[in-house]
Structures are given as structure tokens and as C-alpha cells.
Amino acid sequence: MSFFEELKRRNVVRVAVAYIVASWVLLQVADLVLDAIKAPDWVIQSMLLFVVLGFIAAMIIAWAYEMTPEGLKRESEVDRSQSITNETAARLDRITIALLVAVVAIIAVERFVLAPPGADPAPAQVQESAEPTPVNPAPAVQATQENSVAVLPFVAMSSGEDDEYFADGLTEEILNSLAQLPELLVTARTSSFSFKGQDVPVTEIAEKLGVRHIVEGSVRRSGERLRVTAQLVRAADGFHLWSENYDSTSEDTIQVQEDIAEKIALAMDVVMDEQKREAMRDAGLRDVEAFIAMQKARELYQRAHGDAEQIPTLRAANGYYEQVLERVPGYPPALLEHSDLYVHILNDDALGIPTTGVTEDDIATAKDFMLTDVSTALENARNFTEQNQLEIDLSFLSGNWRGIEQRIQRYNESDHCDKPTWSPQFALPFGNAQAYAERIQQVVECDPLTTSNWFELSRAWLWAGDSERALEVVRRGMEVAPGGWLPYAHNWALMATRRFEEQNTAIETEFRFESDRLVGHISRLAAMGDPAGIPALLERFRNDEDYNDYQLQLVSARIGDRETANRIAAGVDQHIQGSQALALLIYWCKCGAPFDIEVTPAFAEAFEQTGYDWPPPSPIQWPLKDW
């Protein structure tokens, strides 16, 4: 008798199958129970270790012993003619079938009972497990400062209609390719492109970006003819480590771009293999018309988050994103940025922020469009890091918040230069704010001239309880990357450090709109514990042309007007995007709980899935608020 046949005769195989299925059922039930009682992670880890060790013991017992009518006996002591292994096998089969029914029941309960209502609207698909299936996990190699590089925008030497966008697109394709190599620390696009059109010495650029190497080049197009020059420069002494000229045609653009990226990598001593080449190819659009459209879309997208009117400008950007997606379906960056229009439509409507050009039909369809974009981006994630970040974004936007804590923890443990759009809403008020601050510090090092990164880092340290460091960070950010929302972060840091006179000056000099100045002064008095001047300021705020319920809810919570804060929050809770909007209120208020969770049942039900504790702490003292 062969060894395998003997395994079958002794029912070792059946015992193994039954044990594995039973262990899965046990661990799933334990995970649900331990998650509900918020048990520490080591409990489930200990159970998993016990199950693995038990499997080994079960296999030894199944081989060495046999069940008989008199009980368990050593197999060598059992007369083969009296063996009842066939009966035992039948019992094991019935047990396994019963366990498989339990598996189906548990999956059904998790899928249809434990998921919060509205948490899984088609087409959004958020994995129930907090552990994603890795997509192209990066090799365990760390970049070093010595192997740091910034790719500057290639100069367009011709003046065709789209030649500048073509040059920018070629630059970004090279940058994205190099960023896939774990051996290289590559400055992000926004910081590199901030030097576009400037005549700044390479040494100064390298110092500002914190890199040792610079890639620069030029592009000239004439009809179908294409001439590209590229060079890799060591910033310390201006030495050219590599340079090359390419005379080709527009049809060969992608081949030229890939050749440039690979030769730069080789010049920086990166050992190339097919896996790395594939990752570099997958990172880009690999389509000339698509990367030209992407540059046009990004130009409008950035303008929408600056001084331009937001909704109309995002609509215009989406026209170009749709051109990109028509040529390269499923491209995650285009899909994620395309979704931003619908996010703003929903959040503005939920929070009572007046908008122009938004119809009832826009509001009714925005959620489906938003979730379609982000879920499609997730389905096409190109690597593990991008997958995890998109899972965080989709989890937040869909309202299915189960497992978001573990996903944010995985992000904190990563070392990629990107950041999820919607991670701070939970990572700071409820999670490990210090770990998140240390993670965002890495993002700032990769992308030091992006204003939003300094803003994110400052308020992360504020939530982590280090208000002096938050103030230091925001002041540094205002020096190197001024603008954006940094005046708000400066305002919060001054309140947290109780520099109220300095804050008074900052409100008048840094805030552009009267409504922001009024909210700033009301908040300053609330932080001082001085209610005397608040009613007059509130009256002026209510009469301001930019008045909205969102800002009223913030100041109401800060001054301790519980009734008004709860009334507004209860109304927001009824909106299709109410839970997400209320999470934003918590995040921006920095006042602990800006409402009683009992008045927001939809938010409470979604929040229960996170595993976080309520209420959140307050990084700023508000003496007038007594809850």
C-alpha cells in the first residue's frame, strides 16, 4: 500500500480537511467577538499560533491512533479486520459538511448583516477583510538619501499647441517610472514642477528639494519628428553622470521615455530585472494623447483647489480626465481625481455650503459616480501601496468603515511618497496621530514644496499633542510652500499654544474672507474662555454673505452652544453623505465631540464599525464647551 493510500485509510487527510475548516470557523467567530469587545491584537494572534501548533498535533494523532468501539487506540494495536475506519470516515465527512455550512453562514452574516446599511452600494466593492490581497508588493529594498533624485520639467523647445503639455507629460512619465524603484528616493511631481520656467541653479534646486541628483532635459517637436535630450546631474559638483540625445518620431515617444528612465536608473546603480521593468511600465499611461490630456486635467484640478471657482473648474478638468480614461481605461490617478468633483458636490450639499451651478440631478447621481470612480481605481490598482490607499479612500467615501483602522495602520507602516486623501479623518482624531505624523514627515521629504503636505503634518502634530511642534512645522511650511490652508493650521497652532495676541494679528493679515476672520475671532475668544464679545461677532457672521451652516456648527461647538451644534449635526446626518460630512466636522473642529452622537444615528451606526472609541480627544482647550 502506498504512503498516500495509507494516509487515506487512516483518515489523516479527512482529519486535516476537517481541522482546517473548523479552525477557520473558530478564528472567524473569535475575530468577530474580539472585535466587538475591542480585545488587543495579541489575543487573536495567540489563537492563530495555538491553531497552527494544534494542526501538527492532530496530524500525529490521526496517523498514530485509530478510533475503535473501545475508544482511541494505537494504530499498531488494532486488528485490521476489526477496523472501523470507514465508519469514522463517514462521520468526518458529515462533520466537514456541517462545518462548510457554518462557513457559508458566517460569510453571509458578515456580508449582509454586519455591514452597515448603505455600506456596500454597487459598484463600490470594499473587501470585508481588513487584509488586502497584495498587488505587486514592492521588494524589501530601502531608498537612501544618496540615491535621491528630482526630475525637473523638460523644457518645450517648440511652440506647437500642445508641445508644453507634451513635454510635461513626458517628464511625468519618466518620474512615475523612476518612483517605482524602491532603491530610489524620487521627489514628487508637485515639488519638481514648482521650478518650471524658473532659471534656478541646479545646486539651489537640489538643496530646496533635499536631493543629490537632478534630471533635466528638453523636447522639440516638428510635425512627426521628435528630438529629446536628457541628462542626469550630480548636484554637488554639476557632474553629468549620464546624458543622451534622441532623434526619433512621435510614434516612438513611449520607447524613448522608457529608455531614459531605465538608463537613469542604471546610472544610479539600480540593478534592473524584468519585475522592475514591468513595474515601471505599469506606472505610466504609455499613450501620448493620454498623457497630454492628463497634464491639461491636472492644470485645472490644481486651479480648482486654489483660487478658481471650484465646481465649474473641476467639471472642466473632468472633461480631460475622461479623455485619458477613454484611451487608458482604469488608470487609477485619473479615476481618483475625476471623483473629486462628486465628493465636493456631496460634501458641500451635506454641510450647507452654498455652491453655484449644481442641480438636484447632480446631487442625486453624485454618489454613484463617485463610488464608481474609486472602486474602478481600486480594481486596477498597480501595486500593494496604491491598493491599500484606495481601500482607505473607498472605505471612507462608501460609509463602510469596518477595517479602516487596520488599513491606516498599514499605511503608517509603509514608506511610499503618496498619501490617501481620506485617511486623516480617522487617523488623527481617533487613531495614532503620532505615527501618522511621522509617516507624513516622509511625504514632506518626498514632496517638500506641496503646501497641503505641510498643512497635514502640522495638524497631525497638533492631534498628537505636540502643539509647539505643530506651530514650528506650519511656520516652516509658510516659508517654503506658502498658501492653501496653512493660515488655518497657523491659527489652530497659535490657539493651542495660547498665543492669542499673535493669533489676533494673524487672523487679520492671513485670512482673505471676512467670514473666516469672524470665525477666527469667535474661536479665539472661545479658546480664551471669554464669552463677552462672542454674541456681536456671531451676529455679524450670520449676516455675512459667505455664512454657512458648516462654519456655524464649528463655532457653536467651540463656544458650547450644544443645542445649535446638535440641531445642525442631526440635519447633516440625514443626508446621503451625512456620516462622511460629520467625520469631516470632527476633524476640522478640533473640539472633541462637536455634537452628541445620540442625535446622529446613521453616523453612530457607521462609526461603530471602526473599532475606535467615542468621543475623540480635543487638541485645543475650549473652556466654554462643557461636553
pLDDT in tens, 343-382: 999 999 998 887 888 999 999 999 999 999 999 999 999 8
Q: pLDDT of 122-156, one tens digit each? A: 444 555 444 455 555 545 555 557 889 999 999 99
Buried/exposed 174-209: b ≥16 CB within 10 Å, e otherwise = bbbbbbbbbbbbbbbbbbbbbbeeeeeebeebbebb
Query: Of 186, 389, 364, which Cα lies nearest the Cα of 280?
Result: 186
pLDDT at 58: 85
pLDDT of residue 70: 74
Domain-located, residue 169: yes
Q: Does residue 189 form part of some domain? A: yes
> For the chain, how many structural domains are there in total?
2
Which residues are registered as beta bridge partners of 214?
150, 233
According to the model, what pLDDT value does residue 107 have? Answer: 74
| In a domain? residue 582 | no
Q: What is the pLDDT of residue 116?
A: 43
Mean pLDDT of 396-422: 90
Q: What is the mean pLDDT of residues 292-316?
A: 89
pLDDT at 119: 42
- Determine the pLDDT at residue 626: 92
Q: What is the pLDDT of residues 4-58, one digit of tens each?
A: 777 777 778 888 888 888 888 888 888 777 766 656 667 777 888 888 888 888 8
Three-class SS state of 187: coil
Q: Which helix (H) or strand (E) holds 68?
A: strand 65-68
Which CATH number covers residue 216? 3.40.50.10070
Question: Directed axis angle between helix 433-446 and helix 451-463, to 10°?
Answer: 160
Strand partners, 66: 73
Q: Is residue 407 part of a domain?
A: no
Q: Are 62 and 14 in the same domain?
A: yes
Average pLDDT, the chain: 88
CA atoms of 578 and 349, how far apart (whole Å): 10
Query: Could you tell me if 94 and 225 lie in one domain?
Result: no
Secondary structure (3-state) at 388: helix
Q: Output the nine-digit C-alpha cell for 30.
A: 473569535
Window from 62-76, 198-212, 327-341, 384-398 with minimum mean pLDDT: 62-76
The pLDDT of residue 308? 63
Q: Of the ranges 343-357, 393-407, 575-589, which one carries the lowest mean pLDDT score?
A: 343-357
**pLDDT tens column, 460-477:** 999 999 999 999 999 999
* pLDDT above 60 for 90: yes
Residues 97, 169 within the same domain: no
Q: Are residues 42 and 164 in the same domain?
A: no
Domain check: are 85 and 43 in the same one? yes
Same domain, 71 and 184: no
Among residues of the chain, what percentage have pLDDT more than 70? 92
| Number of Cβ within a 10 Å radius of residue 536 | 10
**Does the pLDDT value for residue 307 go beyond 60?**
yes
For residue 451, being part of any structural domain is answered with: no
Last residue of a domain, one of 284, 308, 331: 284
Provide the pLDDT for residue 87.
79
| Per-residue model confidence (pLDDT) at position 142 | 54
Q: Which residues pair with 227 in a beta bridge?
A: 220, 247
384 in Cβ contact with 132 (< 8 Å): yes
pLDDT: which is higher, 161 or 534: 534
On whether both 12 and 98 belong to a single domain, the answer is yes
The three cell numbers of residue 73 are 487506540
Instruction: Single out the residue in 244, 268, 284 at which a domain terminates.
Output: 284
Determine contact, residues 422/396, Cβ cutoff 8 Å: yes
DSSP 8-state code for residue 249: E
In a domain, 94, yes or no: yes
Residue 145 carries which DSSP code? G
Domain co-membership, 107 together with 230: no
- Taking the CA of residue 94 as centre, how many other CA atoms within 13 Å lie in the half-sphere pointing to its CB? 5
> Which residue from 210, 219, 208 is spatially nearest to 250, judged by alpha carbons?
219
162 and 103 in one domain? no
158 and 250 share one domain? yes
Retrieve residue 267's grid coordinates.
546610472
Dihedral in degrees, nearest 10, Cα atoms 196, 197, 199, 205? -10
Pair 58, 105 in one domain: yes
Domain that holds residue 89: 3-114
Is 311 part of any domain?
A: no
**Residues near 130 by Cβ (< 8 Å), separated by ≥ 6?**
402, 403, 405, 406, 407
Where does the pLDDT of residue 533 fall: very low under 50, low under 70, confident under 90, or very high at 90 and above?
Answer: very high
| One domain for residues 110 and 149 | no
In this predicted structure, what is the pLDDT of residue 130? 45
- How many whole angstroms separate alpha carbon 152 and alpha carbon 189? 9
Rounded Cα distance between 426 and 587, Å, is 8
Work out the pLDDT band at 393, boundaries 50, 70, 90: very high
* Cell of residue 285, nine digits: 499611461
Among residues 230, 251, 284, the one where a domain terminates is 284
Q: 28 vs 32, 104, 544, CA distance in Å?
A: 6, 12, 55
- Residue 79 confidence (pLDDT): 74
556-567 pLDDT per residue, tens: 999 999 999 999
Residue 254 lies in a domain: yes
